[in-house]
């Protein structure tokens, strides 16, 4: 697809401080749009808790750093031998390639810590993440599609997409692949629609967030069957992938928390 959108030459008098060219990556642009959209949603929905743009900016900085570190760390760990044998591959992968669960696992504790520090109710704010999560994740998957990462297996049907750009992060080029990035977008938009419907009949704080986690875990497990980046590894003699295992853990934990929170309500 289009991993690099534009390359801007830098004037000579600035090249001592900046590189000779700056490239706008499609993945980075989509992430930026996702962050801006999620900031707008969070600002509108969290005003009743006394938050403002300044407070949310602080939260978003923390979350962006945590999500970046977690997403990249999990991405590199899934095929750590590749990056140990070829360190230059790390630089090439900076234009795309994140593990969503890595970002999630790092981001949630960061958010909870910040909310408690600011004395903002945790569970009601987590429900806001049920709206933010699918939005920012969908933007991110558009970036994945353009960059070529997180693709599917070789596909013989009409839905196959071919990545031929030499800068593409696709491990398999010039062959039709399942567009699993687009599958993930469908999953996230479906979740968003369900969250809007359930919101009207919500029974306890945190319910929307738990629904989001469990629905995505199920959807991701299905999409995972079409994923083609096998280097991410499998567990239990190939029965499940790492993401499917994490998804199963999230479902179990969410059900336990659901039981606890619903009783408290």
Contact 182, 138 (CB under 8 A): no
What would the pLDDT profile of 51-65 be if each residue is shown by its tens digit? 888 888 999 999 989
Report d(CA 260, CA 252) in Å as an integer.
13
| Span 113-124, average pLDDT | 92
What would the pLDDT profile of 148-204 be if each residue is shown by its tens digit?
A: 888 899 998 888 999 888 888 788 888 999 999 999 999 999 999 999 999 989 999
Q: How confident is the model at residue 133 (pLDDT cuts 50, 70, 90)?
A: very high
Average pLDDT of the residues in 5-10: 71
pTM value is 0.84
Alpha helices in the chain (DSSP H): 26-45, 53-77, 80-85, 88-92, 100-117, 122-147, 180-199, 207-224, 242-264
What's residue 82's pLDDT?
Answer: 66
Confidence tier at 31 by pLDDT (50, 70, 90): confident
pLDDT band at 84 (very low <50, low <70, confident <90, very high): low
Give CA separation, 117 vs 5, 55, 85, 106, 112, in Å: 40, 11, 42, 17, 9
CA 69 – CA 98 distance, rounded (Å): 9
If you average pLDDT over residues 7-36, what whole number do you get?
76
**pLDDT for the residue numbered 113:** 95
Q: 74-78, 124-128, 138-142, 238-242: which range is least confident on average?
A: 74-78
Q: What is the pLDDT of residue 72?
A: 80
Query: Distances from the Cα of 189 to the Cαs of 132, 141, 193, in angstroms?
Result: 11, 12, 6
Report the C-alpha gap between 234 and 230 in whole angstroms. 8
pLDDT at 209 over 80: yes
State pLDDT tens for residues 235-252.
666 678 888 888 999 999
């Amino acid at each position: 697809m289009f991993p690099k959108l534009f390359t801007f030459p830098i004037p000579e008098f600035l090249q001592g401080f900046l590189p000779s060219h700056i490239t706008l990556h499609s993945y980075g642009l989509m992430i930026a749009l996702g962050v801006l959209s999620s900031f707008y949603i969070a600002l509108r929905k969290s005003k009743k808790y006394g938050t403002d743009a300044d407070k949310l900016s602080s939260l978003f900085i923390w979350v962006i750093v945590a999500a970046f570190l977690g997403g990249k760390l999990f991405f590199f760990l899934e095929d750590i031998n590749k990056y140990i044998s070829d360190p230059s591959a790390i630089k090439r992968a900076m234009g795309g390639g994140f593990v969503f669960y890595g970002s999630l696992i790092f981001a949630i504790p960061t958010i909870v810590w910040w909310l408690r520090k600011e004395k903002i109710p945790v569970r009601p704010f987590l429900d806001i993440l049920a709206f933010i999560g699918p939005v920012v994740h969908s933007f991110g998957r558009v970036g994945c599609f353009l960059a070529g990462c997180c693709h599917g297996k070789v596909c013989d049907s009409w839905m196959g997409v071919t990545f031929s750009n030499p800068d593409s992060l696709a491990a398999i080029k010039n062959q039709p692949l399942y567009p699993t990035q687009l599958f993930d977008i469908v999953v996230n938009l479906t979740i968003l629609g369900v969250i809007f419907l359930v919101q009207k009949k919500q029974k306890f704080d945190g319910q929307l967030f738990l629904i989001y986690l469990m629905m995505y875990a199920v959807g991701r497990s299905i999409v995972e069957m079409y994923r083609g980046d096998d280097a991410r590894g499998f567990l239990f003699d190939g029965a499940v992938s790492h993401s499917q295992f994490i998804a199963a853990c999230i479902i179990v934990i969410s059900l336990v928390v659901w039981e606890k929170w619903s009783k408290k309500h």
